[in-house]
Each structure stands twice: as C-alpha cells, then as structure tokens.
Structure 1
Amino acid sequence: MRAPLLFLVSVLLLFSACSDLREKKKKADKASLHELVTSFESHADALEKEIDSVAVFYDSLIRNKDQILKQLEGYKYKMNGPFSEGLYIKDDNYSSIIILNSAEDYAISRQEVKYTNGLDEIFSKVFHRYDIIAQIYSNSENQVSRVYPFYDAAGIVDPNINVKDFNFYYKADKENNPSRGYAWIPEPYIDPAGQGWILSLIKPVYDQDELFAVLGIDITVDHLIQRFLEDTNGDYLIVNKKGDIVAGKSTAIEALSMPPLKNHVYRETIRSDNFRISDFNLFNSKSREVRKMGQAFLLESKDQFEFIEESYLSDAVCRAFKEIEWYAIKINIKS
C-alpha cells in the first residue's frame, strides 16, 4: 500500500509544480503585455497633449485672422492649380498645401492659407519631436489641406476629393465628437496622401460654434510594428474591437491560420497593393479555436485563453488599452 501512496503523492506534487509553473508563466506574460500597452499609451498621451496644444494655437490664428492679414503682404505659398509648388522641400518650415476643387470659394480658401501659415513652424517642431509621427496636418471646412512634411501632393492626391468624406475629418465633427476633444481612429485606413496604412489621432478646431478644421497626427502601421513590436521577445498582436489585426509579429499572425504573408513578413504584406485589413481578422481565421479566442477576448472581456484543439498553440493572454479601443495579445506557440 505504501508504494502506490508514494506514487500518488509524487504525481500530485508534480501536477502542483506544473500548475504553479503555468501560473508564473501567465503572470509573466501579463506583465509583458502591461509593459507593451503602457509604453504605447505613454507615447499616445504625449501626442494627445501635443495636438491639444496645436489646437489652442490654431484657435488663436482664427481669432486674430484680421490682424494677421493686415500685417502680411504677399503669399508664402505659390499655387500651381490646386497644389503648392515644390520649391521648398529643403526648408523645414514648409508644408504641402492643397486647395481642393471642392472648395466653394477659392478666394476665401486662399486667404485661409495666408493667415494659418503660422502652423508650419508648429507642425515642424511637433513632427521632429517624435520618431513615430508619419505626418501632421490640418483639413478645413474651406477644403484647405496643410500637410507636414512637404510631399509631392500633385502626384498622389486627387484634387476632386472632399475632405469631409474621410473618417479623419467626419469622426471629429459635431455629430461624432460632441465633446470636441481629441479622438483616435482605431481602424487602420489607407492614407490618401500616400503614407500607406495609417492610424490617426484627430482634434477639431472651432470658429465660435462652427467646425473650422480638423487637426491630425498620423502613425503608420509600419512604424507601429517597428517601434513597439519588432524587437519585443514573444509573439504579439494588436487588434481592434472588430478583430482586425492592427499590427503584429509575423510568427504570431502565421500561427493563427491567417492568409499567407508576403515573404513571411507582415510589414511587407501591409505595403502590398492587394492588402486588405479585413483579411487579417481573428474572426476570419480558418481555425475555429482562434475564432473562439477572439470571442473570449473581444466580446467576453476575458484575459486568457487555453488552446485545446490546435496542437501547435498553447495559450494566449490579452490586455485592453485604455485610451483607444485596441487589445494587445500574446500568443504562446508550442516549441
């Protein structure tokens, strides 16, 4: 009787040790997610303060436009049709200016360019302060688009678009943002200015009670992967509330039965012409368990998930972001 009892005790001790090891591993995984999320949110917080500051300055330009126009003689920008000419590329205090064909009164739009030229220096300072910023810009009700740094807009932007049709504008209007605060656009979208797949922080600027313009700071998905994921040990994803993979390590994405990656690299895949963010969605995975994981994390607010059916996947942990509707996920792949 003694031998079986010793054997049973040994098994229980071994089971307990394994269980403790798994719990320690999950705690370590959650700590690494906390570090990842906190790192991004500290950068996001800094950008939120910056865009608030730029909005205050923009408001002062609008309130003092008559005085500014009296003091200025001539125009800083020479226009060639809808686009400012590319004579200023080497100057740090020049943006790209577009007065879209959808402008109702070209003279009013041209005047707006003149009294808001003070934005260029502010844009430059903010841009050079943060390596994750792809561009900083303003789009106005008068269909004036000011984007820093300068780029050849004539070769990229359709001058017949209306800025009010884009989410980086209407997500900040009275209906979608009645509080008039900053807002993140959590779904990546193709930038009409040619930056590829981007994420935007936006902030409305009002002239009394009327929306005058929307400021924006863009981060490319490519920069997001480089800055926060590429050199991080482990297999991580960032997804939005719809389940779209905003950014991720290639090994994690391939392990979740997603479409094939270009050269096995997600950064290269997002640059390809036929890339669609909806293809890389947890709920579109070929794996039933991956879809169940998406439901557990995004719909049921769970923070860990055990894989049973997938022989190459062990478990996953999740942490929600505070300021933006994203989730950081760490996938553990069996060796």
Structure 2
Amino acid sequence: MELMTSKYTVDLVDRHVAAMRKLCKTCCNGFLLLHLEPLVELLRLAVTRFSQGQFELAPALCEFTRVSSQPFVSCKTSDMITYGHHLPSFIKVLVSVLGYTLPLEEGHEAKDDTEARGASEHKRTMCERIRIEIAHTLACWARFGLDEDSIELRPNQPLIQAVADSGTPNLRILRQSQVMDALSSSFRAEDSPEAIVITLGAIRDMSLYRPLARQITNCGLISNLVHVIRVNLLGSDVLLVAAEVLWNVLELDWEGATEALGQEEVIESFRDFMDAVLTRGYRFKDKIFRNDMMVLLMYISKRVENRPLFASTG
C-alpha cells in the first residue's frame, strides 16, 4: 500500500504490479483472514487505478482474483469471527472491476496501424481473462459448502431445502455483498463462451439460496437466461444450466419469477423451444430439456394472469 500511495513511487506502475504479483505468489494457497482489511484497501486502490487507465495492473488483478478463489486461511480459530465481517466488502470490491472490463466495441484503428490493433487485441484478451477469473472465483465461493457434511440438517430435512432456507456461509456473504447486480450487468454484455459457461455455473449455485434467487429476479437476469436458451437451442448443453437456474428461481421466488416471465415474447420463446425440441430434438439431452421446459411452463401457468398468454401465443 505504501508503495502505491507514496508520492515518490505513486507513478511506478510496474513496481506496483510486481509487488502485487509477489504478494499473490507468497499467498498462493490462500490469503490470511488476518490481512483481510488491508487486502480490501489494496484491491480497492488497484481497481480504482485500473479504472483510471493503468491497464498494466490487469495481470496483477488476474492473479489476485485467482488466489481469492481459494478459502481464506485462519491463523487462530477466532479469525473468522474477528475479521470475517470484511468478506462482503472484499467480494463487492472484487466484482466491481467487471464494470471496467466489459467487452469492447470493434476498434476504429486504421487497417495498417498494426501496433494500435495489437494493443487493442491485448487489452480485449486481458479484460476477458479478468472476467473469467472473477466468474471462476464466484463459482468457487458459491459451490463451497454445498454438501451434507457442511450443512446442519434437521431430521428428515432434504439438503436442497436446508440450502434454500439457510444457505451456506459463502452464499450468505455473496448475498450481503450484492454481487448479483454487477454480475448480471456483465453477463448481459458477455461475449466469451468460457466466461458465459463459468458464470452460469456460479449463478446456478447461487440460485439455490432463496434470497439470491430473489436477487436474480429483481436484477432482470431472467430474460438473459431465456436468451441463452434461445441461442443454444439444440446445441450447447449450456441451455440445460440456464433452464436449471430458471427452475430454481421459479421454485424459490415463484411470485416474482412468474411475473417476470409472464410476457408475450417470453411465452412465444417457450413455444419456439418446445416446437424445436419436439420436432428436431433426438438426443437424450434434448429429452431432458423437453422435460425441463414442461416443468417451467407448469410453474408459469400457475399464475392466473399468465394463462391468457398461453392461448394467444399458441
């Protein structure tokens, strides 16, 4: 921090990058909870500098995010109680970098300006790498603790119900950090197949927790999930993940989700999905998708206001 804020070294970006990368190498097995508060300040400063044009920080941010995907390390059993309240701030600052790494529009460099085009391509690649690393980190956080050994179950209580009601420590941290707004904004503009797949996996695990399922509805992500299904129809298996997220959200936030899906263009999309899978779907996974669609349509039709759309759209 002193290296990045001292008036004598504030402009030495290459040294800032080297220092951050050395920190990540030293803590390659996970950051210490003891250092969480200064880590938040360091990350906030790095993201601010990156947003102001210090693009050289991109590799350091990638490595920092990669280490953040691992569980924080406790030196004492009380560390989580003492320092854990900084975790939502840490995740919130980490995800804020997504707003500065969105896919760039096609450049207007001259065709013979090889250097400018090379620089633009490098920037595009590094921004994509940052988005992928953040998606992977969120996926790791959302997945951690989703097993019977980590969750306290009441007698005869299914694991899925316990997760929906109480979540996991990580899912509760993700809810407090309000990551869904930044994640949905990035997901709408995402053009990297790898980032889309990893982000969908993270959203799927987040959608198992009722408060996060409501956030998915409120941030308008449902329409984007329908779009993912449309562009991957009878193709990539990623549409099954999108359908699973819709299913989870409809189960845990039925009122909000059915209202969001109760639009003519959405019902028409579902009609097209069913037509395609019934007439041209021959794979086993197409049959799985057909069954998923039938369940989703059943959930949507339970809302009385949506039923006229089923008749008007055919």
Q: TM-score range by the shorter chain?
A: under 0.3
Higher share of residues assigned helix? 2
Higher share of residues assigned strand? 1
Q: TM-score scaled to structure 2, two decimals?
A: 0.26
